[in-house]
């Protein structure tokens, strides 16, 4: 478990897959397949997480304290035993925010140099 004093920027930059997983878990708790679907939907199918990458990332994120596994299903109606649900921790949220800020900063740099069109 991370200590509260842990610096979220220490983990940056996050691997792309991890960032996608954090974003997918930002609005609600999800199981693996749901994370994968969310990422695919959000990116219009351009990012397809496979089982290996997904669970390898989950293993690391659990260890780093970015997410936690839930003991039971958060949806009372859905009691699919085989599903394991994950939730973003406070620390995970801070790390995701820090990563988003980092990416935003980079985008602004790119815009400033005219590499991509300025925001209207």
Partner 1 sequence: MPRAERVFQTLLYCYPPEFRREYGREMTYLLLDQLNAAQGPRNQAAVWLRTITDLFTTVPKEHYYMILQDLRYALRTFAASPSYPAVVILSLALGIGANTAIFSLVNGVLLSKLPVREPERLVILTDPSSSGVRQGSSRGERELLTFEEFDQIRKQAQGFTGVMAAQSRLENWQIRVEGQAPEEIQGRMVSGDYFKVLDAALARGRDFASPTEPVVVISHAFWMRRFNSSESALGAKIQLRKAVLTVVGVAHPRFFGETVGQSPDLWAPLGLQPQIIPGRNWLHDVGDERVMWLQVFGRLQPGVSLTQAGASANAAFKNAMEQSVGTSISEQNRKVFLDQHLKIHEGAGGASSAREQFTAPMMILFCVVGAVLLIACANLANLLLARGAFRQREIALRLSLGAGRARLIQQLLTESVLLAIAGGVASLVTGYMIHGALTNMVVQADPNFHQVFELDPTILAFTLGLSLFTAILFGLLPALNITRTDAALSLKEQGRGTTTSVAGIRWGRILIGAQVALSVPLLLGAGLLARSLANLQDVDLGYSRNGLLLLRIDARSAGYDNPRSLALYPELLDRIRKTPGVTSASFSENGLFSGSDSVDEIEVEGYTPKGADDKDARWDQTGPDYFTSLGVPLLQGRDFNDSDRAGSQKVCIVNEAFAKKFFVGRNPLGMHIATVYGDRRITHQIVGVARDHRTHRLQGPTPPRNFVPIVQPLGETDGVIYAIRTSGDANALMPSLRKSLQALDLNLPIQSLVGIDERLKRRTATNRLMSTFTLALAAAALLLAAIGLYGVLSYEIARRRNEIGVRMALGANPSGVVAMILRETAMIVGAGLLVGGGLALASGRILASQLFGVTAQDPVTFVGAAIVLSTVAFAASLLPAMRASRLDPMMTLKQE
Binding site for partner 1 (CB under 8 A): 32-33, 36, 48, 50-56, 58-59, 82-84
Q: Based on CB atoms, which residue is closest to partner 1, 35 or 98?
A: 35
Q: Based on CB atoms, which residue is closest to partner 1, 47 or 101?
A: 47
CA pseudo-torsion sign 109, 110, 114, 118: negative
What DSSP state is assigned to residue 66? Answer: S
- Name the minimum Å distance from CB 5 to partner 1: 22
Q: Based on CB atoms, which residue is closest to partner 1, 53 or 73?
A: 53
Q: Based on CB atoms, which residue is closest to partner 1, 1 or 107?
A: 1
In order, the DSSP letters of 6-35 are --GGGGPSPPHHHHHHHHHHHHS-EEHHHH
End-to-end alpha carbon distance in the chain: 43
Q: Tokens 């397809």, residue? A: 48
The tokens describing 108, both together, are: 């602004």
- Name the minimum Å distance from CB 52 to partner 1: 4
- Name the minimum Å distance from CB 49 to partner 1: 8
- Name the minimum Å distance from CB 39 to partner 1: 12
């Amino acid at each position: 478990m991370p200590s509260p004093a842990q610096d979220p920027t220490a983990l940056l930059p996050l691997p792309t897959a991890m960032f996608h997983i954090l974003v997918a878990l930002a609005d609600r708790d999800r199981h693996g397949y749901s994370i994968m679907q969310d990422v695919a939907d959000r990116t219009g199918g351009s990012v397809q997480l496979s089982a290996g990458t997904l669970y390898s990332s989950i293993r690391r994120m659990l260890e780093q304290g970015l997410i936690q596994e839930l003991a039971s299903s958060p949806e009372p109606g859905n009691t699919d035993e085989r599903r394991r649900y994950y939730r973003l921790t406070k620390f995970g949220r801070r790390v995701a925010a820090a990563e988003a800020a980092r990416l935003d900063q980079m985008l602004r740099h790119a815009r400033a140099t005219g590499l991509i069109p300025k925001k209207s």
